[in-house]
Amino acid sequence: MTAPGSDPATEHARARELFAASRRITALTGAGVSTASGIPDFRGPDGVWTRDPHAQRLTDIDAYIADPEVRRQAWRARAEHPAWAAEPNAAHRAFAAFAEQGRLTSLLTQNIDGLHQSGGVDAGLVLELHGSVFGVICLDCAATGSMRAALARVADGEEDPPCRSCGGILKSSTISFGQSLDPAVIRASQRAALDCDLFLAAGTSLTVHPAAGLAELAVRAGARLVICNAEPTPYDELAAAVLREPLVELLPGLAAVPLSDTAEPLRTWGDPSTWG
Protein backbone atom coordinates (compact mmCIF):
# COMPACT_ATOMS: atom_id res chain seq x y z
CA MET A 1 0.00 0.00 0.00
CA THR A 2 1.30 3.45 -0.90
CA ALA A 3 2.01 5.60 2.14
CA PRO A 4 -0.01 8.84 2.35
CA GLY A 5 1.89 11.69 0.76
CA SER A 6 4.44 9.44 -0.98
CA ASP A 7 3.25 10.34 -4.52
CA PRO A 8 3.13 14.16 -4.61
CA ALA A 9 1.60 14.38 -8.12
CA THR A 10 -1.30 12.10 -7.19
CA GLU A 11 -1.87 13.86 -3.87
CA HIS A 12 -1.86 17.28 -5.53
CA ALA A 13 -4.33 16.19 -8.19
CA ARG A 14 -6.65 14.76 -5.55
CA ALA A 15 -6.37 17.87 -3.39
CA ARG A 16 -7.26 20.11 -6.32
CA GLU A 17 -10.33 17.97 -7.03
CA LEU A 18 -11.38 18.22 -3.41
CA PHE A 19 -10.96 21.99 -3.25
CA ALA A 20 -12.80 22.43 -6.54
CA ALA A 21 -15.80 20.66 -4.98
CA SER A 22 -15.60 22.16 -1.48
CA ARG A 23 -18.18 24.75 -0.53
CA ARG A 24 -17.72 24.73 3.24
CA ILE A 25 -14.12 24.58 4.49
CA THR A 26 -13.12 24.35 8.14
CA ALA A 27 -9.39 24.80 8.71
CA LEU A 28 -7.20 23.85 11.65
CA THR A 29 -3.80 25.53 11.69
CA GLY A 30 -0.69 25.06 13.78
CA ALA A 31 2.77 26.50 14.22
CA GLY A 32 3.89 25.50 10.74
CA VAL A 33 1.72 28.24 9.25
CA SER A 34 3.65 30.96 11.09
CA THR A 35 7.25 29.75 10.91
CA ALA A 36 7.75 31.61 7.60
CA SER A 37 6.79 34.78 9.48
CA GLY A 38 9.69 34.30 11.89
CA ILE A 39 7.77 32.63 14.70
CA PRO A 40 9.52 29.36 15.63
CA ASP A 41 7.59 26.27 16.57
CA PHE A 42 8.26 24.46 19.85
CA ARG A 43 9.45 20.98 18.87
CA GLY A 44 10.96 21.42 15.39
CA PRO A 45 14.70 21.36 14.54
CA ASP A 46 14.94 25.07 15.35
CA GLY A 47 12.09 25.06 17.85
CA VAL A 48 12.02 27.04 21.07
CA TRP A 49 12.26 23.92 23.26
CA THR A 50 14.84 22.30 20.99
CA ARG A 51 17.18 25.25 21.40
CA ASP A 52 16.39 25.78 25.10
CA PRO A 53 14.70 22.86 26.92
CA HIS A 54 14.43 25.01 30.05
CA ALA A 55 12.03 27.31 28.19
CA GLN A 56 9.30 24.68 28.50
CA ARG A 57 8.95 25.59 32.19
CA LEU A 58 7.68 29.02 31.17
CA THR A 59 4.61 27.39 29.62
CA ASP A 60 3.89 25.00 32.50
CA ILE A 61 1.07 26.35 34.67
CA ASP A 62 2.22 24.65 37.89
CA ALA A 63 5.75 26.03 37.57
CA TYR A 64 4.35 29.46 36.68
CA ILE A 65 2.16 29.62 39.77
CA ALA A 66 4.74 28.18 42.18
CA ASP A 67 7.90 30.00 41.12
CA PRO A 68 8.14 33.82 40.97
CA GLU A 69 11.36 33.52 38.99
CA VAL A 70 9.55 31.56 36.26
CA ARG A 71 6.99 34.37 36.10
CA ARG A 72 9.70 37.02 35.85
CA GLN A 73 11.37 35.10 33.03
CA ALA A 74 7.99 34.67 31.32
CA TRP A 75 7.32 38.41 31.39
CA ARG A 76 10.72 39.11 29.84
CA ALA A 77 10.03 36.51 27.15
CA ARG A 78 6.63 38.06 26.37
CA ALA A 79 8.23 41.44 25.77
CA GLU A 80 10.54 39.81 23.22
CA HIS A 81 7.97 37.55 21.55
CA PRO A 82 8.38 37.59 17.75
CA ALA A 83 4.62 38.08 17.31
CA TRP A 84 5.07 41.79 18.06
CA ALA A 85 7.00 42.31 14.83
CA ALA A 86 5.75 39.40 12.68
CA GLU A 87 3.91 39.97 9.42
CA PRO A 88 1.46 37.58 7.76
CA ASN A 89 2.95 35.34 5.08
CA ALA A 90 1.53 33.83 1.90
CA ALA A 91 -0.05 30.96 3.84
CA HIS A 92 -2.03 33.37 6.02
CA ARG A 93 -3.14 35.29 2.93
CA ALA A 94 -4.31 32.04 1.34
CA PHE A 95 -6.78 31.56 4.18
CA ALA A 96 -7.95 35.13 3.62
CA ALA A 97 -8.53 34.19 -0.03
CA PHE A 98 -10.68 31.24 1.01
CA ALA A 99 -12.66 33.60 3.25
CA GLU A 100 -13.12 36.12 0.43
CA GLN A 101 -14.51 33.32 -1.73
CA GLY A 102 -17.11 32.67 0.97
CA ARG A 103 -15.90 29.10 1.44
CA LEU A 104 -14.02 29.38 4.74
CA THR A 105 -16.68 28.83 7.38
CA SER A 106 -14.35 28.55 10.39
CA LEU A 107 -10.62 28.86 11.06
CA LEU A 108 -9.50 27.00 14.17
CA THR A 109 -5.94 27.86 15.14
CA GLN A 110 -3.52 26.59 17.72
CA ASN A 111 -1.40 29.69 17.11
CA ILE A 112 -1.40 32.62 19.52
CA ASP A 113 0.09 35.25 17.19
CA GLY A 114 -3.01 36.86 15.64
CA LEU A 115 -1.53 36.58 12.14
CA HIS A 116 -4.64 35.07 10.61
CA GLN A 117 -6.61 38.17 11.55
CA SER A 118 -3.90 40.61 10.45
CA GLY A 119 -3.58 38.54 7.26
CA GLY A 120 -7.15 39.35 6.29
CA VAL A 121 -9.38 36.70 7.88
CA ASP A 122 -12.33 38.24 9.71
CA ALA A 123 -11.91 37.77 13.45
CA GLY A 124 -15.44 36.37 13.59
CA LEU A 125 -14.27 33.31 11.67
CA VAL A 126 -11.24 32.63 13.90
CA LEU A 127 -11.31 30.45 17.00
CA GLU A 128 -8.05 30.71 18.96
CA LEU A 129 -7.87 27.33 20.64
CA HIS A 130 -4.79 28.22 22.69
CA GLY A 131 -5.61 31.86 23.32
CA SER A 132 -3.73 35.00 22.35
CA VAL A 133 -0.38 36.45 23.36
CA PHE A 134 -1.85 39.95 23.14
CA GLY A 135 -4.06 39.66 26.22
CA VAL A 136 -3.59 38.94 29.93
CA ILE A 137 -5.81 37.24 32.48
CA CYS A 138 -5.74 37.01 36.27
CA LEU A 139 -5.53 33.45 37.55
CA ASP A 140 -7.43 34.43 40.69
CA CYS A 141 -10.33 36.70 39.67
CA ALA A 142 -10.28 36.12 35.86
CA ALA A 143 -10.01 39.83 35.10
CA THR A 144 -8.64 40.43 31.61
CA GLY A 145 -6.55 43.19 30.09
CA SER A 146 -4.07 44.23 27.45
CA MET A 147 -0.64 42.64 27.18
CA ARG A 148 0.78 45.98 26.04
CA ALA A 149 -0.43 47.62 29.24
CA ALA A 150 1.02 44.82 31.37
CA LEU A 151 4.37 45.00 29.58
CA ALA A 152 4.44 48.75 30.14
CA ARG A 153 4.30 48.01 33.87
CA VAL A 154 7.18 45.54 33.46
CA ALA A 155 9.19 48.19 31.64
CA ASP A 156 8.49 50.55 34.55
CA GLY A 157 10.07 48.11 36.99
CA GLU A 158 7.33 45.64 37.97
CA GLU A 159 9.08 42.37 37.18
CA ASP A 160 5.99 40.29 38.03
CA PRO A 161 3.02 42.68 37.85
CA PRO A 162 0.03 41.54 39.96
CA CYS A 163 -3.61 41.93 38.99
CA ARG A 164 -4.77 45.47 39.72
CA SER A 165 -8.26 44.21 40.58
CA CYS A 166 -7.39 41.62 43.24
CA GLY A 167 -3.60 41.38 43.53
CA GLY A 168 -3.57 37.90 42.04
CA ILE A 169 -1.19 36.34 39.53
CA LEU A 170 -1.34 37.66 35.98
CA LYS A 171 -0.38 35.63 32.93
CA SER A 172 -0.84 35.87 29.20
CA SER A 173 -4.25 34.80 27.94
CA THR A 174 -2.74 31.73 26.34
CA ILE A 175 -3.31 28.14 27.38
CA SER A 176 -0.34 26.78 29.31
CA PHE A 177 0.45 23.11 29.75
CA GLY A 178 -1.68 21.90 32.62
CA GLN A 179 -4.54 24.27 31.81
CA SER A 180 -7.80 23.23 30.18
CA LEU A 181 -8.97 24.82 26.98
CA ASP A 182 -12.00 27.09 27.12
CA PRO A 183 -15.03 24.75 26.95
CA ALA A 184 -16.99 27.27 24.87
CA VAL A 185 -14.17 27.44 22.30
CA ILE A 186 -13.96 23.65 22.16
CA ARG A 187 -17.72 23.33 21.63
CA ALA A 188 -17.62 25.92 18.85
CA SER A 189 -14.67 24.11 17.25
CA GLN A 190 -16.51 20.80 17.37
CA ARG A 191 -19.53 22.38 15.69
CA ALA A 192 -17.23 23.77 12.99
CA ALA A 193 -15.70 20.33 12.41
CA LEU A 194 -19.18 18.86 12.00
CA ASP A 195 -20.34 21.66 9.67
CA CYS A 196 -17.97 21.36 6.73
CA ASP A 197 -17.49 19.28 3.63
CA LEU A 198 -13.69 19.68 3.71
CA PHE A 199 -11.48 19.84 6.80
CA LEU A 200 -8.04 21.31 6.10
CA ALA A 201 -5.30 20.67 8.67
CA ALA A 202 -2.28 22.85 7.89
CA GLY A 203 1.04 23.19 9.70
CA THR A 204 0.01 21.05 12.64
CA SER A 205 1.43 17.72 13.80
CA LEU A 206 -2.05 16.68 14.98
CA THR A 207 -0.60 15.35 18.22
CA VAL A 208 -1.99 17.86 20.73
CA HIS A 209 -5.49 17.07 21.95
CA PRO A 210 -8.31 17.92 21.95
CA ALA A 211 -7.49 19.99 18.84
CA ALA A 212 -6.06 17.02 16.93
CA GLY A 213 -9.24 15.01 17.41
CA LEU A 214 -11.24 17.57 15.45
CA ALA A 215 -9.84 16.10 12.22
CA GLU A 216 -11.26 12.68 13.03
CA LEU A 217 -14.55 14.21 14.17
CA ALA A 218 -14.93 15.89 10.77
CA VAL A 219 -14.14 12.68 8.88
CA ARG A 220 -16.58 10.63 10.92
CA ALA A 221 -19.27 13.20 10.15
CA GLY A 222 -18.67 12.78 6.42
CA ALA A 223 -16.15 15.50 5.54
CA ARG A 224 -13.01 14.96 3.48
CA LEU A 225 -9.70 15.57 5.25
CA VAL A 226 -6.71 17.25 3.59
CA ILE A 227 -3.49 17.41 5.60
CA CYS A 228 -0.72 19.85 4.67
CA ASN A 229 2.24 19.25 6.96
CA ALA A 230 5.95 18.69 6.46
CA GLU A 231 6.04 15.59 8.67
CA PRO A 232 3.69 12.59 8.98
CA THR A 233 0.80 12.90 11.42
CA PRO A 234 -1.26 10.26 13.27
CA TYR A 235 -4.23 11.08 11.02
CA ASP A 236 -2.61 10.70 7.59
CA GLU A 237 -4.39 7.38 6.99
CA LEU A 238 -7.76 9.13 7.37
CA ALA A 239 -6.88 11.85 4.87
CA ALA A 240 -8.12 12.02 1.29
CA ALA A 241 -4.91 13.89 0.40
CA VAL A 242 -1.62 14.50 2.24
CA LEU A 243 0.73 17.23 1.02
CA ARG A 244 4.25 17.88 2.32
CA GLU A 245 5.42 21.02 0.47
CA PRO A 246 6.12 24.37 2.20
CA LEU A 247 2.82 26.00 3.10
CA VAL A 248 3.76 29.38 1.61
CA GLU A 249 3.94 27.62 -1.76
CA LEU A 250 1.21 25.06 -1.31
CA LEU A 251 -1.73 26.95 0.19
CA PRO A 252 -1.86 29.86 -2.30
CA GLY A 253 -2.12 27.28 -5.09
CA LEU A 254 -5.02 25.54 -3.40
CA ALA A 255 -6.75 28.85 -2.74
CA ALA A 256 -6.51 29.58 -6.46
CA VAL A 257 -8.46 26.43 -7.40
CA PRO A 258 -11.87 27.67 -8.59
CA LEU A 259 -15.07 26.18 -7.26
CA SER A 260 -16.57 23.88 -9.87
CA ASP A 261 -20.25 24.30 -10.72
CA THR A 262 -20.48 20.70 -11.85
CA ALA A 263 -18.49 18.91 -9.15
CA GLU A 264 -20.27 16.31 -7.06
CA PRO A 265 -20.90 17.50 -3.48
CA LEU A 266 -18.19 16.31 -1.10
CA ARG A 267 -20.43 15.94 1.88
CA THR A 268 -21.57 12.43 2.81
CA TRP A 269 -23.22 13.12 6.11
CA GLY A 270 -22.49 10.41 8.60
CA ASP A 271 -25.03 9.08 11.06
CA PRO A 272 -23.96 10.24 14.56
CA SER A 273 -25.67 7.17 16.09
CA THR A 274 -23.10 4.93 14.36
CA TRP A 275 -20.00 6.81 15.49
CA GLY A 276 -19.53 4.70 18.65
Count of CB atoms situated within 10 Å of the CB of 183:
8
Q: Is 107 helix (H, G, I), strand (E, B) or coil?
A: strand
Cis amide prior to 210 (ω within 30 degrees): yes
Q: Which of 12, 54, 116, 130 is catalytic?
A: 130
Q: Is 273 helix (H, G, I), strand (E, B) or coil?
A: helix
Would residue 130 show up in a list of annotated catalytic residues for this protein?
yes
CA separation for the pair 76, 110 (Å, rounded): 23
For residues 7-22, one letter each, b for 16 or more C-beta atoms within 10 angstroms of the residue's C-beta and e for the rest, the string is eeeebbebbebbbbbb
The CA-atom distances, in angstroms, between 169 and each of 61, 184, 188 are 11, 23, 28
CA separation for the pair 31, 44 (Å, rounded): 10
What 162-169 contacts at long range (C-beta under 8 Å, 24+ apart), as own/partner pairs, is 163/138, 165/138, 165/141, 166/138, 166/140, 166/141, 167/140, 168/138, 168/139, 168/140, 168/141, 169/64, 169/65, 169/71, 169/138, 169/139, 169/140
Q: Is 55 helix (H, G, I), strand (E, B) or coil?
A: helix
Q: Which active-site residues does the annotation give?
A: 130
